[in-house]
Structures are given as structure tokens and as C-alpha cells.
């Protein structure tokens, strides 16, 4: 039997098939970018890599939506859409700035506490000191700690730091861990995301009450360093952390590392001690890639465009949302 289809039939069949494909494509785009399958829960539009990238894995931990992203041969780790860290050069810069300035001022360097060190990169930097005897690295998210210990690309980058015999890893909220132990440390590092509307409970790791507990857990000649990484976007955040540390009884020396030209970032830090320290006391005793003497002089000078916010003396407590409000106002102005 011969079947004939005229031109008009072919035309309308083609139109129909095209409409079906178009509707399916719209449905897929909605599901991926706006609906239940949205990648924006894992990689925000503001922080996605430049150029082509590939999402290797999407995982929901009890604490956050985690994405592992491959971009230009590197692996990036995202939490709730925000870039946390990666096997990238600016992570090397940040880790050196966070760790080595306080380590240069610590009276001893035998026992170190890192809160938020699941990636193992800051632990790697502390292990460069031969006089370090024990590092306690705490992270609330077991999945992040597992990546730091077992994910090949990250283990290579952190040089196996979290599997080193000097390192004790703890899966627990940082504050709960500190409150439950009478131990003392020579240096304490707080390297966790800023409190925000997404994670308001993080304020308890930046609060006056917690800093007072840390003061009791710090050796008399010890040092605490609190990361305030988004200095270029929220300079008032650093000054609020400083005000809170001062209210807890510390002397504070803020500093920063400017990588605006290279990475559009300026990393801020609040270094707290029991005695007043001067910038000219900082002399890093081990080789570093990025912390030259000239760079150190620049780091302790806070530019005016940040310093003009230093009158912000709002103190974070367990019962207010000072830091989260600063963050949300800066990043959610839409």
C-alpha cells in the first residue's frame, strides 16, 4: 500500500515536533535553574567559575548542599551555592596569610586548634612548622572532612595533611567541642563562613560569649586568628569582629591580603592576643611563597576605604544577628 503525505502535512508535523522539543527544553531549563533540580542551590550565579565548568558531584550533607566543580583542571568545592575553597592558587595565598602571620607571633607552636579545617589546606600550612606536636582540626560536616582525607585531588593539594599522625580530626560543632574540653592551645584559627540568613547559627562561633571561652582555652602567650575574608565587600564585618574580640578582653591586630587585581578579593583577618603586639614583631620563620617582608608591611596597613568603617563597634553576641545583618545587607541588596 502506498502512503502519500503532502507538503502541508509535513509542515505541520515538523511544527508540532518542534513545539514538543521546545516545551521539553523549557521544562528542563526550569527544572535545572529554578525548580527542584536547580544548580543554583549548589553553584550560585554570582560565584560560578568563568568559562566552561562541569559539576562532578552534587551532594546533600546534613549541613549544606555541596557541589564539586571541575574548572580549568582544578576542583572547586561549593557549599549552598557559595565557593568555599578549591585546588587553586588563591587558596594557597589565603592559607598562607591566615596561618603564618599568627604562627610568627605565637610564644609556642606545640598545640594548635583549627575550627573549620575540613579541606585540610590550613592544616597543611601548620604542619610546615617542625615544633608543632599536635593539631586538632574540627569540622561540623563529616562529608567535608572525608573529602579532605580521601578525595584524591584534594589530598594531593593538601599533601595528605589530615592523615598526618600529628593531626587529630574531630567531627563536631566547633563551639561544642571547645566547651566540652579543658584543653589549651598555643594558636587557635577560626576559618568558617560568615553568619548569614542561610546559616544564622554560625554567629555563635563569632560571639562575645564564645570569644571569652576561647580566651580561657588560649595559652597566655598564644594567638587567635579569625578569618574575615570578604573585606572588599563587607569591611564593616571585620571591625565588628574586632570590637567583639576587644570586648572579650583581647588586644587585636587586624591585617589583610589584597588580591583584588588577580582574584577580585581582599582577605581580612582579626588577630587577637593577650598582650599588645606590634606589626614589626612579625617575622615568619619558614619559607613562604607569598609573604615577603614587603608584602607583610602592606598587610598590616589597612587602606582608608576599609579603615573608614572602623567606627563600627557593634558587638556580636549569642542573642543578636549583628554579623548576619551586615552580610545579608551587602549580598542580598536585590
- Cell reading at 101: 602571620
Residues 278, 280, 286, 287: what is their CA dihedral angle, to the nearest 10 degrees? 130
- Cell reading at 236: 564593616
Q: Residue 55, exposed/middle/buried by CB under 10 A (0-12, 13-18, 19+)? A: middle
Q: What are phi and psi of 221, to 5 degrees?
A: -100, 25
CA distance 306 to 68: 33
Strands (E), the chain: 54-60, 65-71, 74-79, 82-86, 111-115, 134-139, 167-171, 185-190, 218-228, 251-259, 265-273
Catalytic residue among 82, 173, 186, 191: 191
- Cell reading at 215: 580566651
In the residue annotation, 328 being an active-site residue is answered as no
Q: Which of 186, 216, 222, 192 minimizes the C-alpha distance to 204?
A: 192
CA distance 44 to 198: 13
User: Which residues are tagged catalytic?
Assistant: 191
Amino acid at each position: 500500500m502506498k502512503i502519500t503525505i503532502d507538503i502541508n502535512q509535513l509542515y505541520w508535523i515538523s511544527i508540532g515536533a518542534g513545539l514538543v522539543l521546545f516545551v521539553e527544553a523549557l521544562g528542563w531549563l526550569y527544572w535545572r535553574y529554578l525548580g527542584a533540580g536547580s544548580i543554583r542551590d549548589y553553584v550560585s550565579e554570582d560565584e560560578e567559575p568563568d568559562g566552561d565548568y562541569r559539576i562532578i558531584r552534587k551532594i546533600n550533607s546534613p549541613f549544606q548542599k555541596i557541589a564539586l566543580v571541575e574548572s580549568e583542571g582544578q576542583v572547586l568545592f561549593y557549599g549552598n551555592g557559595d565557593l568555599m575553597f578549591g585546588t587553586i592558587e588563591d587558596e594557597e595565598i589565603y592559607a598562607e596569610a591566615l596561618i603564618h602571620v599568627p604562627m610568627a607571633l605565637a610564644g609556642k607552636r606545640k598545640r594548635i586548634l583549627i575550627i573549620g579545617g575540613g579541606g585540610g589546606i590550613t592544616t597543611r600550612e601548620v604542619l610546615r612548622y617542625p615544633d608543632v606536636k599536635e593539631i586538632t582540626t574540627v569540622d561540623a560536616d563529616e562529608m567535608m572532612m572525608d573529602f579532605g582525607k580521601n578525595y584524591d585531588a584534594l589530598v594531593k593539594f593538601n599533601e595528605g595533611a589530615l592523615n598526618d599522625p600529628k593531626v587529630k580530626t574531630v567531627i563536631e560543632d566547633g563551639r561544642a567541642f571547645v566547651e566540652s574540653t579543658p584543653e589549651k592551645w598555643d594558636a587557635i584559627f577560626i576559618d568558617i563562613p560568615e553568619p548569614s540568613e542561610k546559616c544564622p547559627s554560625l554567629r555563635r562561633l563569632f560571639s562575645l560569649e564564645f570569644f571569652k571561652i576561647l580566651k580561657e582555652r588560649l595559652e597566655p602567650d598564644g594567638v587567635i586568628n579569625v578569618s574575615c575574608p570578604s573585606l572588599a565587600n563587607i569591611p564593616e564585618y571585620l571591625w565588628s569582629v574586632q570590637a567583639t574580640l576587644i570586648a572579650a578582653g583581647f588586644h587585636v591586630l587586624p591585617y589583610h591580603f589584597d588580591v583584588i587585581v588577580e582574584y577580585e578579593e581582599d582577605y581580612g583577618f582579626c588577630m587577637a592576643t593577650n598582650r599588645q603586639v606590634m606589626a614589626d614583631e612579625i617575622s615568619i620563620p619558614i619559607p613562604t611563597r607569598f609573604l615577603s617582608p614587603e608584602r607583610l608591611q602592606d598587610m598590616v596597613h589597612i587602606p582608608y576605604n576599609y579603615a573608614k568603617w572602623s567606627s563600627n563597634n557593634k558587638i556580636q553576641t549569642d542573642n543578636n544577628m549583628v554579623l548576619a545583618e551586615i552580610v545579608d545587607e551587602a549580598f542580598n541588596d536585590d
